[in-house]
Structure 1
Amino acid sequence: MSVDVDFEAGGFALIESVVDPEELKALAPVMLREGAVGGSRCLLDRPEIAALATTLQAHRVLRSLIPEDHVAVQCTYFEKSSDRNWLVALHLDLSIPVARRVEAPMLRGWSDKEGTVFVQPPPQVLEQLIAVRLHLDACGVEDGPLRVVPGSHRLGVLSPEAAAAVRADRGESTCLAAAGDALVMRPLALHASSKSTGTSRRRVLHVVFGPPRLPFGLAWAATRLPASAEA
């Protein structure tokens, strides 16, 4: 697979063996500490997660896909199993975590999640983001894997009706992975996942990288950004 071509054309790419599975075991206590559950969005302030983000950005393949000046701005933990099962309808990732609310006509969809302010910025901001989904467990067809619509990241923000039409036209790619693999994707790529139908556990750390500075007077919510990025 030509990673660069596939990523630019499709909006996603699977990178194998990014982190050794044995090293992933050290992250298990982090997932259980301080109430982290499937769906926790604000893990980047934990030292182990901040160190992992640095490791991901330095990886020989990932560093060619993540712009050099980008910083880690969010880490979300997802856990799907027979006991904690859920599906995700076809959607785009439109919200980003910011330090405070700013009044500007281009900003919408304000919300508060886990004590952090989220907002939906214009597509020009979202187009710059890169998400790295690190698989802590193997993810097979029975584990509710992510399904991505190839090339949809180039279509901007779509209505639900338009998104469904694009999926019908282009189809979906099912993203299976081994433990330690990373799925790199553009947040504006249409994606969905079904409920798990097996008995395994699917845990993912979803790390988002973005430009150090935001427009409209916004600032990232992450507490461990470099001083130059907080201005």
Structure 2
Amino acid sequence: MKNLDTQGFAIIRGVFTETELEALRGEADRVARMENSACVRHLRQKSRKFDQLARSSRLQELLPRGVFPVRSILFDKTSSENWPVTWHQDLTIAVEEKVAVEGYGPWSRKDGSIHVQPPEGLLEQMVTIRIHLDETPRSNGALRVIPGSHLNGKIGSKEVLSHVGDSEVVCECEAGDVLLMSPLLLHASKRSEFPKRRRIIHFEYAAHGSLDKRLSWYEPSPANQTE
């Protein structure tokens, strides 16, 4: 997809119908209640429905060839859970265990799983899908992005703001729209000005064979457990 390659993101309108969205919202609410959290990591392990969705032909048709799901998150902003996100890139992946591998680091732990920054080349082959379950205008925490910033590779924390200028685009989406983006794309979001539900299903995909063979994905595809 040309926009994804050159701009680092692309919006595909009306991928899901209202009937489909109602079912997805119900499942998202069930998982959020079960986890008692507005940010649920490893969503595929907690919901068969979302695991099947991540691997579905519906989404695979939107993606580059040769990728499979490796991380999944539910974001559920509400009036009581209304957080801003500063400009950043998504630089970490989740793996089964820490192994000393050149090019991987630093290491961290989030919600009980091990995360690490992989080499830039791996991130360049990844793509994220964000499924909007609710209307997400500018006033309700829509994602802000810097087009083309993914072409700069990993950007040091002290250099991030120098890449943020007048080129900012606000990705306003309707319920049922899908946003594709590179994890290296600089992105942020503001607090909702008029807080409403803003549920986002976030799936990350990686290319087969991109992970060092001494490591294993924390969320492997059931159809291909070891890549």
TM-score with structure 1 setting the length:
0.89
1:178 corresponds to which of 171, 174, 177 = 174
- Determine the structure 1 residue equivalent to 2:52: 51
**Structure 2 unpaired stretches of 5+:** none
CA distance in 2, matches of 1:217, 1:58: 32
Change beyond 3 A, Cα 1:36–1:217: farther
- Work out whether residues 104 and 216 of structure 1, in 8 Å CA contact, stay in contact via their aligned partners in 2: no
* Structure 1 SS opposite 2:107: strand
Matched, 1:83 2:84: no
- Determine the structure 2 residue equivalent to 1:144: 141
**Structure 1 unpaired stretches of 5+:** none
Sequence identity (%)? 32
Matched, 1:221 2:222: no
The within-5 A match list for 1:117-136 is 117-136=114-133
- Work out whether residues 11 and 177 of structure 2, in 8 Å CA contact, stay in contact via their aligned partners in 1: yes
- Determine the structure 2 residue equivalent to 1:191: 187
- Determine the structure 1 residue equivalent to 2:3: 6
| 1:215 partner amino acid | D
- Work out whether residues 153 and 184 of structure 2, in 8 Å CA contact, stay in contact via their aligned partners in 1: yes
- Work out whether residues 13 and 184 of structure 1, in 8 Å CA contact, stay in contact via their aligned partners in 2: yes
Equivalent pairs counted in the alignment come to 222
CA distance in 1, matches of 2:223, 2:103: 26
Q: Which moved more, 1:76-85 or 1:21-30?
A: 21-30
Change beyond 3 A, Cα 1:78–1:19: same
- Work out whether residues 150 and 186 of structure 2, in 8 Å CA contact, stay in contact via their aligned partners in 1: yes
Matched, 1:208 2:209: no
Report the aligned-residue RMSD. 1.7
| 1:177 partner amino acid | C
CA distance in 1, matches of 2:23, 2:58: 19
CA distance in 2, matches of 1:118, 1:160: 18
CA distance in 1, matches of 2:87, 2:5: 21
CA distance in 2, matches of 1:108, 1:224: 24
| 2:77 partner amino acid | K
Report the Cα offset of residue 68 of structure 1: 2.3
- Determine the structure 2 residue equivalent to 1:158: 155
TM-score with structure 2 setting the length:
0.91
Change beyond 3 A, Cα 1:68–1:149: same
